[in-house]
Chain A
Amino acid sequence: MLFAFRSLVNIARTNAEFGKLTIGMAKVDMVKRYSGSMIGVLWAVVRPMIFIGVYWFAVAIGFRGGGVRDGVPVVFWLISGIIPWFFISEAITGAGMSIRRNSHLVTRLVYPVATIPTFSALSLFYAHMMILGVVIAVFILSGQGLGIYILQLPYYMLCTLLFAVVAATLFSALTAVSKDAGHLIGSLMTLLFWLTPIIWPLERLGGTVKYIIMLNPVTYLIQGYRNAFVLERWFFVQWEYTLYFWVFMGVAALFASFLFAKLKDDFADIL
């Protein structure tokens, strides 16, 4: 336990110390992701837009799910939930492989390894911010409009970024030492997608099942983005849930740090 605390402090301190480097590396990482393509960073926006189009078509028109959900048109309801999901899933599968992908930094250079998952998550977060800009523009231009509740978006973005960094730290350590972990995580993503109220509304559930679904921290984040965009609910109104999320994050961060610190010395030898 004490070791976990110490590791968490160490990792946090390393990330603070090399903050500038991390920001620079996040940019390099982003350039790398889109290098060699003609429209470059625009892909970050194009891809999710196509996804939304397909989901919207399938859910709203294909299944005749009705035009309105939770009092808002389905397409806006869908966008507000699926956009954070894109970021979260990419952070888990992409940044969750970051140490293996950046093995050159580990085995050939003197590099603060603890910042690799951070900059990978951050580089995905840049793309996420761009998409959010597009989404906000869509909301305003389409006449749907945004309420005062959008002011809590930065809070939920921060939560999501933190979640992404912790997940990336945990999973990148696991995938660095075992390829199986990578495949396992990839397979579990589909499960996570359907167990989270992303394309189905949480309110449809009741009783114990609803609370079990709410134990999933991703539910908190998705619901959060919905609160900000369409649901018109403040995060402090659901203070019990917010408290649960932060306790969960604390425990997860401790566990991730513990595992990362345990495995860190082996990275250079394994990769």
Chain B
Amino acid sequence: MPTSSSTQPDSGFAVRIGGLTKSYKLFPSPRERALDVFRRKSQAKLFTALKDITADFPEGEVIAILGKNGSGKSTLLKIIAGVTTPTSGTVDVRGRVSAMLELTSGFDVELTGVENIYLRGLAMGMSREEIGAKRGGIIDFADIGEHINQPVRTYSSGMRARLGFAVSASVDPDILIIDEVLAVGDDVFKLKCIEKMEDFRSQGKTILFVSHSLFTVKAFCTMGMWLNEGKMMTYGHIGDTALAYEDFLRQERARAKEAEMAEDSAKFRDKQDVLEVRDFRMFDETGKSTTSFGYGDDVFFEFRYIVKRATEQLTFCYTLRDSERREIFMADKQNEANVINSEVGEHTLKVRLKDLNLLAGEYLLSGELWNNDAAFYVGYSNKRPFRIEQSEYLGTGIALIDYEFWNE
């Protein structure tokens, strides 16, 4: 596992963490928690949110913390902010920290925006005069109009984020911690925040930043740390970290898809005592099985289905998708014209997709047999891929739109 690496080895660190571990005690009931205080040996189950993290956050860097939900990002930031204590390990923070942890970000929802500005200032150790001097700037930055004199509980999440960012940024911190707040702001505000953070960076301040927008992260951060299930996977230059993380996300998605497909086939088995579908194949006009077709060719497919119990009005339907799973066309499931032979017994259904003018590329064919009365369906093809080859260049996109033109 790579440990700390600094892009500027000579400069000091803003935050140094060593062997940081955080476990939460989980109790079956509040009563157990209360009793546990008096027990010599704790009976709590431990949930480890962070496992042995060692890293330096160098001064003047913008460091992204990446990871899925529940990977320990927020816990790490809370520990650095000093809100919660680590179970073991050390945290060394140099300078004043201003943290904006999640949306509510330390607001007292019963107080108005202005009163909250005052409260936050107090909590940061500012005097009434100092706060008074900064108040105008904060209100301008937050730009939420009349709402500033309303209780924060009436605010939308966007307004909370605005005020929260304005307050956090105004206290002139050495280390700014921003957890998941840009997600709710509109683009104008996001831009304003990023400008402000750029400003901080140019002043040599350190920013720790959590965002699920990899786009923002890549554009704005200089370093990245990727956490997964409490463990540090990579830490270093933002490009490398983002790449590793993206790759991981892709694999996760593929796994999720597999699980989904397994689930689908399980459903399929359940319905097998009513309707069974088998022997799906795609073929060309000569009858030869293939999944590769030329541009403009007819695409054929067929399958056998066995109706085991009396079923009425079986309707067939199909969906074409492009390689990114965007739907190109789905046949009407309610259409009477698509009703097929629904008698008990074995049938074969052949389908011809006529003069397919899809451009070269990979496409996916899905299809189901529907019974609308019983809200029942059986899939005969689940995103089955097929290719369209093309010998001449016709344009880009998905499908050719036939056109003619003339001068007048």
Contacts and interface: CB of A to CB of B under 8 A. Distances in A.
8 closest A-B pairs (Cβ-Cβ)?
A108-B106, A109-B106, A268-B84, A110-B82, A24-B122, A178-B34, A108-B101, A178-B30
Given A28-B111, A107-B101, A108-B83, 17 more contacts: A21-B122, A28-B115, A31-B111, A35-B111, A35-B151, A104-B104, A104-B107, A104-B108, A106-B83, A108-B101, A110-B81, A110-B83, A178-B34, A259-B37, A265-B85, A266-B33, A269-B24
Contacts of B326: none
Given A105-B123, A178-B30, A268-B83, A28 B37 contact: no
* Contact-residue size bin, chain A (C-beta under 8 Å from the other chain): 20 to 34
Contacts of B99: 108-110
A31 B112 CA distance: 11
A108 B108 contact: no
Interface in A11-69: 21, 24-25, 28, 31-32, 35-36
A32 B125 contact: no
Interface of A: 21, 24-25, 28, 31-32, 35-36, 102, 104-111, 174, 177-181, 259, 262-263, 265-266, 268-270
Nearest to B79: A268
A56 to B, nearest CB: 34
26 contacts: A24-B128, A25-B122, A28-B118, A32-B108, A35-B110, A35-B111, A102-B108, A104-B104, A104-B106, A104-B109, A105-B106, A106-B83, A108-B106, A109-B99, A110-B123, A111-B123, A174-B34, A178-B30, A178-B31, A178-B33, A180-B30, A181-B34, A265-B84, A266-B33, A268-B84, A269-B25
A148 B119 CA distance: 42
A259 B78 CA distance: 24
Contacts of B33: 177-178, 266, 270
B121 to A, nearest CB: 9
Contacts of B105: 108
A200 to B, nearest CB: 35
A107 B107 CA distance: 11
A117 to B, nearest CB: 16
Nearest to B35: A178
Contacts of A270: 33
Contacts of B120: 109
A108 B33 CA distance: 22
Contacts of B125: 21
B327 interface: no
A33 to B, nearest CB: 9
B210 interface: no
A269 B33 CA distance: 12
A34 B110 CA distance: 11
A206 B261 CA distance: 83
B85 A32 contact: no
Judged by DSSP, the binding face of A is: helix
Interface of B: 24-25, 30-31, 33-34, 37, 78, 81-85, 97, 99, 101-102, 104-112, 115, 118-120, 122-123, 125, 128, 151
A106 B115 CA distance: 18
Contacts of A265: 84-85
Q: Max chain B CB contacts within 10 Å: which of A31, A108, A270?
A: A108
Q: Max chain B CB contacts within 10 Å: which of A174, A178, A180?
A: A178
B162 to A, nearest CB: 16
Contacts of A25: 119, 122
A102 B109 CA distance: 10
A21 B121 CA distance: 10
A184 B81 CA distance: 34
B227 to A, nearest CB: 18
B119 to A, nearest CB: 5
Nearest to B75: A269
Nearest to A25: B122
Contact of A28 (B31, B102, B119, B151): B119
Contacts of B122: 21, 24-25, 28
A16 B128 CA distance: 19
Nearest to A111: B123
A259 B34 CA distance: 11
Nearest to B101: A108
Contacts of B128: 24
A268 B111 contact: no
Contacts of A177: 30, 33-34, 37
A74 B105 CA distance: 52
A263 B122 CA distance: 25
Contacts of A107: 83, 101
Contacts of A174: 34
Nearest to B125: A21
A110 B108 contact: no
Q: Max chain B CB contacts within 10 Å: which of A109, A178, A179?
A: A109
Contacts of A266: 25, 33
A109 B108 contact: no
Contacts of A178: 30-31, 33-34
A108 B31 contact: no
Nearest to A269: B24
Given A21-B123, A24-B122, A266-B25, A108 B102 contact: yes
A105 B105 CA distance: 9
B34 A109 contact: no
Contacts of B31: 178, 180
Contacts of A35: 110-112, 115, 151
Q: Max chain B CB contacts within 10 Å: which of A28, A36, A181, A265?
A: A28
